[in-house]
A = this chain, B = another copy of it.
Amino acid sequence: MFHGAEPRPRWSVAGRWTGCYCPRVAGSNARPIGVFDSGLGGLTVARAIAARLPSERIVYLGDTARVPYGTRSAETVLRYAQACGARLAERDIKLLVVACNTVSAVALDTLRVQLDVPVLGVVTPGARAGVAASRAGRLGVLATAGTIASGAYPRAVASLDSRVEVFARPAPLFVPLAEEGWVDGEVPRLVARRYLAPLVEDGVDALVLGCTHYPLLAPVIAEVAAELVGPALRIVDSAEATAEELAGLLDARGLSAPADASRVAPLSILVTDRPADFASPASRFLGQPVETLPVEQIDL
């Protein structure tokens, strides 16, 4: 259940601004950053943001009642994303991070119009960090089948540097491995080897982990990559890349929180279903026990 006083919403349900506010006033910069994902995976992004920007408050919304989005049509994903965006707007967020590759691929522009606050996805930061990491211009991407099919990464890379070739492959087994907490030992190592081997054959020299679940497996992926090609293959965690890009964006827009903003409730969590089933996997994604955090179930 949710504890502690939330700031009064300054947004109507439709996501339109209803209050009076100057974004450069330090007090309003204490407003939280909204982080939205179809489920729990986005907590890896929340974790990376908390590590990179410890002064910021975060309100996380995981649409656990309707996860996974990857198998839904674009229209359905858009509808879900708008409902989640409106709900986060009610929490008076100053910026929205879409920590979901599927939503990032189809709904960013719509959310920008709807919410009237800066909206940052995970695909472009990941692609940008990948392009920067690849010297040979051969960039690997591992993601879910849905993200691969959407073509979001090749599109993002092409818009950044058309000379970089993208080799994108699905790595669907990483998701249940991360959810089950099977992140070291022989099984994840064998699975990682199977997914990395064709990319190594493609000659990639940088690899973007293009799914919010994959950072949990980053150590074993890095270990297998080192085994297959040595340190020549650089691993890019799109959660960290997103936190880095967010830091620049807050700074550029004058939205960075004052140093003490996160002292009360640095992270609150909203879920749409089964808050009870959520604690154990969520703690793994977040790297800390969620039992100590305010978790609230909401209806959408």
Residues of A within 8 A of B (CB): 64-65, 67, 71-73, 149, 172-173, 175-177, 179-180, 182, 186-187, 190-191, 194, 273-274, 277
Contacts and interface: CB of A to CB of B under 8 A. Distances in A.
A180 B169 CA distance: 13
A150 to B, nearest CB: 13
A296 B10 CA distance: 48
Contact of A67 (B71, B186, B277): B71
A186 B194 CA distance: 11
Contacts of A186: 186, 190
Contact of A176 (B73, B173, B194): B173
Copies, count? 2
Given A64-B71, A187-B187, A273-B73, A175 B176 contact: yes
A65 to B, nearest CB: 7
Given A173-B180, A176-B176, 13 more contacts: A64-B71, A65-B71, A67-B71, A71-B273, A72-B273, A149-B277, A172-B180, A173-B176, A187-B187, A187-B190, A187-B191, A187-B194, A190-B190
Residue of A71, A72, A177 contacting most chain B CB atoms (<10 Å): A71
A277 B144 CA distance: 14
A270 to B, nearest CB: 17
A285 to B, nearest CB: 16
A182 B180 CA distance: 18
A177 B194 CA distance: 13
Contacts of A64: 71
A58 to B, nearest CB: 24
A73 B273 CA distance: 8
Contacts of A176: 172-173, 175-176
B175 A71 contact: no
A234 to B, nearest CB: 26
Contacts of A72: 65, 273
Nearest to A67: B71
* A-B pairs, 6 with minimum CB distance: A187-B190, A176-B176, A173-B176, A186-B190, A172-B176, A187-B191
Nearest to A170: B180
A284 to B, nearest CB: 14
Residue of A149, A191, A273 contacting most chain B CB atoms (<10 Å): A191
A207 to B, nearest CB: 20
Contacts of A149: 277
A177 B182 CA distance: 14
14 contacts: A65-B72, A71-B273, A71-B274, A72-B273, A73-B273, A172-B176, A173-B176, A173-B177, A175-B176, A186-B186, A187-B187, A187-B191, A187-B194, A190-B190
